């Protein structure tokens, strides 16, 4: 089971189950240049980013038998240099200085791995600008930028307005380099938990496509029931035997626990949380694995600071227009 594994190469080379999501990736690549995907934590965003990294790097051996194998065999396909920035690794706990140092460290590490040198600059935005241009000059190929958890450093300080504004400004300067170097860029994919307006991403990248609620990408992360039946038959059988029930009875109960997610405006695709599903097949015990896997202190603090109660939001319907509109913590209504 690939529980807790977010590296595509590791899943494909070490005998783990991989649910083929590459049809969605090829569709996205063929349809647009800059894409944004919002999904909850532990829902497969980082694995999606890792898969795109391997794909654009031309790792054909990893895609044998998958839908994307055809894409890599197209006559016009050429590998691209890839810049993968994982913002969840930024040292937000060390304040602004730690955030700046972490950004600079990630960019310089990528430059070293890619075999390009960067000037001795102080600011991450300048370094990212130089990295994009230098990679293009070295490979004579446009660059792919993968931005994972772009909002992670900001959400650490959602309840500290002064610090949140400082973090946002720092990240905005860095992200603005994507638009500034558009002529050197082949493809951009950005993930996050929320869609914040004033980041230099949505406000500056006029051509960005938000696929988060598009029906054709509803199942890009997470598992449909058909996928569970197709890819995990032995686990379904073993777990049903362990719990003394039929496979149909097991699936019925799994629906109650784990498939409460839907990300398309047509409400047609129900999804099982992948982390909970894998943990359940591993432990063969019904539990709230996703909720137990991480802290929810940000929301608790937000509600406490604004004197909000849970009762106010029980069965509260949120319109699609609200979900699609970018905002920020200090300007968006508490819904």
In the 8-state DSSP scheme, what is residue 191?
Answer: E
Give residue for tokens 């029930």.
245
Share of the chain above pLDDT 90, in %: 63
34 strand-pairing partners:
188
pLDDT in tens, 118-160: 988 778 999 999 999 999 999 999 999 999 999 888 888 877 8
Would you state the torsion angle of the CA atoms of residues 25, 29, 32, 38, taken in this order, to the nearest 10 degrees?
Answer: 30
Q: Where are the alpha helices (DSSP H) in the chain?
A: 8-13, 22-31, 45-56, 69-72, 95-114, 124-139, 152-155, 161-180, 225-231, 233-242, 247-258, 274-283, 289-292, 297-305, 320-324
pLDDT in tens, 160-183: 888 888 888 888 889 889 989 999
Ordered structural domains, the chain, with CATH? 8-217 (3.40.50), 225-292 (no CATH)
Mean pLDDT of the chain: 90
Contact present, 159 and 301 (Cβ < 8 Å): yes
> Residue 206 has what pLDDT?
67
> Residue 249 has what pLDDT?
97
Contact present, 282 and 236 (Cβ < 8 Å): no
pLDDT in tens, 174-228: 988 998 999 999 999 999 988 876 666 676 666 889 999 899 999 999 999 999 9
Contact present, 291 and 240 (Cβ < 8 Å): no
Does the model's pTM come out above 0.85?
A: yes
Give φ, ψ of 25 to 5 degrees. Answer: -70, -40
Q: Which tokens hold the place of 330?
A: 């200090």
Spatial strand order in the sheet of 82-86: 82-86, 143-148, 185-192, 34-38, 209-210
């Amino acid at each position: 089971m690939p529980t807790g594994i977010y590296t595509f190469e590791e899943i494909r080379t070490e005998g783990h189950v991989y649910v083929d999501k590459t049809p969605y990736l090829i569709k996205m690549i063929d349809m647009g240049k800059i894409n944004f995907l919002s999904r909850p934590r532990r829902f497969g965003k980082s694995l999606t980013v890792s898969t795109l990294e391997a794909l654009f790097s031309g790792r054909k051996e990893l895609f044998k038998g998958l839908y994307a194998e055809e894409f890599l065999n197209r006559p016009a396909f050429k590998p691209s240099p890839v810049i993968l920035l994982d913002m969840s690794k930024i040292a937000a706990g060390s304040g602004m200085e730690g955030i700046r140092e972490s950004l600079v460290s990630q960019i310089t590490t990528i430059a070293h791995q890619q075999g390009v040198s960067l000037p001795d600059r102080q600011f991450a935005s300048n370094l990212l600008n130089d990295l994009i241009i230098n990679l293009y000059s070295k490979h004579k190929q446009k660059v792919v930028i993968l931005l994972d958890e772009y909002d992670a450093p900001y959400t650490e300080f959602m309840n500290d307005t002064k610090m949140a504004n400082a973090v946002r400004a720092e990240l905005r300067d860095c992200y603005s380099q994507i638009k500034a170097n558009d002529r050197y860029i082949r493809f951009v994919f950005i993930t996050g938990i929320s869609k914040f307006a004033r980041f230099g991403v949505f406000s500056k990248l006029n051509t960005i496509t938000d696929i988060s609620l598009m029906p054709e990408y509803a199942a890009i992360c997470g598992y449909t029931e058909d996928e569970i039946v197709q890819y995990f038959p032995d686990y379904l059988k073993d777990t049903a035997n362990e719990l003394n029930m039929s496979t149909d009875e097991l699936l019925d109960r799994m629906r109650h626990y784990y498939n409460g997610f839907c990300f398309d405006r047509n409400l047609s695709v129900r999804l099982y949380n992948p982390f909970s599903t894998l943990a359940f097949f591993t432990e063969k015990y019904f539990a709230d694995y996703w909720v137990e896997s991480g802290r929810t202190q940000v929301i608790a603090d937000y509600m406490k600071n604004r004197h909000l109660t849970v009762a106010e939001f029980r069965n509260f319907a949120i319109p699609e227009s609200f979900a699609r509109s970018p905002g920020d913590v200090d300007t968006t209504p508490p819904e």
